[in-house]
Every structure is written in C-alpha cells, then in structure tokens.
C-alpha cells in the first residue's frame, strides 16, 4: 500500500538560503516530491547552480536572488512570485546570518543590526508577504529554520541565539493568528550540523569536541538529515501540526 501524504505535486515552494547547506537539501527534497521550487539566496550564481541540479534530475525549479535583510529585495521577490505564479503554497525561511562569534560583551552594533535584520525582520516580513498570498489562496505552510541555540544559547553566539529564540516565538505567533486562514506555521530546530554556516564550530576543536560529547548519538548531523522534517511539516502528513518547534539534534538537548 502506498501513501500520497508527502506528495507536493502542483505546489509552489519558496526556499531562502537555498544555495547551500540545509536550504539546498530542503529545496532538492521538495522538488523530488513534485513541488516547483523557487531557489533563493543572496547570490544568483549559487541559486542557479542548485536550480540546474534540480532540473537535471527532472524536477521543477527557478532561481531568484534575494537578501532577506533588505526590504526592497523582499518586495521584488514577492512581486515576482505574484506576477509569475499568483500563489505560494510553501515558504521555508532558512536564510540566516551569524557574523559575530565571541563574548556577548564584545558584540558591536554592526553585528547586532545585521543579525537582527536577517534573522528576525527578514523572517517576519517574508512570512507576512507569504501569508497574505496564502490567505488569498486558501492556505499554505510556513516553516522557519530556528536552532537549538534558541532554547540553549550557544557559546560565543549570543546575538544569534537571541534571534533564534525570537524565531521560535514568531513561529508560534504566526501559527496562532494565521490558522484561521488555513496557514500552518512550524519550525525546525537543528542541532550541530556540518555546514559552511556553522564552520566556526567545526574549526574550533575544543568547542566541537565539547558539543559532540553531549550528543547521545555521538556525532554531528549532515544537512540532508534536516530536510525530512521539513518535508513532513509542509506536507499533508502534518495537516494537524501547527505551532510546533521540532528539535532535530541527535538528543543534544535531552
């Protein structure tokens, strides 16, 4: 007996931060399940590379560059979505930044502003624009990539951790207010995952060892291991899942 619970055929999905890492794997998996994926990130070249990979395996995708920390970029992206597709079924807020690694007392205003602009303001207004389209068209699914750091602040990652805590609460706020429109909003909270974004944790051997020692599974995750949870959250398999923040960390936060 087969199931169609994870079938996304006919769905339009927008994935930010999709040129590498977790976002890349999410974009590829959603395309494998039949969605047309708008691959978005700051640099068009990276988006095109992932789009080409999806197309080469028979999937449907397009590239559109957007810096979610820039309100004009967000407006341009959604003008494109509205003019070309008239709808949006799935939004994955995955783009994020973490420009500062160090003691909280040494955080400067530039690092603070950049982190807040991308990780909070960007997610918020991307969700608003997507939510307006979803409300108009009868519903949709939003998934925010937060972090276990939003629950337990990471060493040397104070402002990043603070913004991810905000994303967790933002997820619940959108879930509560938008469910009446058929819009579900949930979050993925990855643990230690080997990406370029998390490079500082992997290059610092002491920090890496201390984190891995606290993971019951005894290893870090690969980006591909995060994508399945997102597929669940945007598919019919999770039709009654709303406002949940799912931790995928190998047991780190147990």
Run of H or E residues at 36: strand 36-41
26-39: pLDDT as tens digits = 999 999 999 999 99
53-74: pLDDT as tens digits = 999 999 999 999 999 999 999 9
Residue 211 confidence class, pLDDT cut points 50, 70, 90: confident
Write the burial class of residue 102 (CB in 10 Å: 0-12 exposed, 13-18 middle, 19+ buried): middle
Structural domains in the chain plus CATH codes = 12-248 (3.40.50.720)
The pLDDT score that the predictor gives to residue 208 is 79
1 pLDDT more than 70: no
- Report, as an integer, the average pLDDT of 183-212: 82
**For 191-251, where are the E strands, in sequence order?**
245-248
Q: Which residues contact 187 (CB under 8 A, 6 or more apart)?
A: 143, 144, 145, 146, 167, 168, 171, 244, 245, 246
202 pLDDT more than 90: no
The pLDDT score that the predictor gives to residue 194 is 87
120-151: pLDDT as tens digits = 999 999 999 999 999 999 999 999 999 999 99
- Report, as an integer, the average pLDDT of 201-223: 84
The active-site residue out of 100, 123, 160, 232 is 160
Q: Which of 46-50, 55-59, 108-112, 196-200 has the lowest mean pLDDT?
A: 196-200
Instruction: Please count the other Cβ atoms lying within 10 Å of the Cβ belonging to residue 10.
Output: 9
160 in catalytic set: yes
Phi, psi of 221 (to 5 degrees): -95, 155
100 pLDDT more than 90: yes
The pLDDT score that the predictor gives to residue 2 is 61
The pLDDT score that the predictor gives to residue 207 is 75
């Amino acid at each position: 007996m087969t199931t169609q619970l994870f079938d996304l055929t006919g769905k339009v999905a927008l994935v930010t931060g999709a040129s590498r890492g977790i976002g890349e794997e999410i974009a590829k998996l959603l395309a494998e399940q039949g969605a047309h994926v708008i691959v978005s990130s700051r640099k068009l070249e990276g988006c095109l590379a992932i789009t080409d990979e999806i197309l080469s395996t028979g999937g449907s995708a397009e590239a559109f560059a957007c810096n979610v920390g820039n309100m004009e970029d967000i407006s341009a992206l959604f003008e494109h979505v509205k003019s070309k597709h008239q709808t949006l079924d799935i939004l994955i807020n995955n783009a994020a930044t973490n420009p500062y690694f160090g003691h909280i007392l040494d955080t400067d205003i530039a690092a603070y502003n950049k982190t807040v602009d991308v990780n909070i303001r960007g997610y918020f207004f991307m969700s608003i624009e997507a939510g307006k389209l979803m409300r108009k068209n009868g519903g949709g699914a939003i998934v925010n990539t937060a972090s276990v750091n939003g629950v337990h602040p990471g060493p040397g990652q104070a402002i990043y951790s603070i913004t991810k805590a905000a994303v967790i609460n933002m997820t619940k706020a959108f879930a509560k207010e938008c469910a009446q429109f058929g819009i579900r909003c949930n979050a993925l909270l990855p643990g230690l995952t080997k990406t370029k974004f998390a490079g500082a944790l992997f290059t610092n051997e002491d920090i890496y060892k201390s984190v891995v020692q606290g993971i019951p599974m005894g290893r870090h995750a690969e980006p591909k291991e995060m994508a399945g949870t997102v597929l669940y959250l945007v598919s019919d398999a999770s039709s009654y899942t709303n406002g949940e923040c799912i931790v995928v960390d190998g047991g780190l936060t147990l």
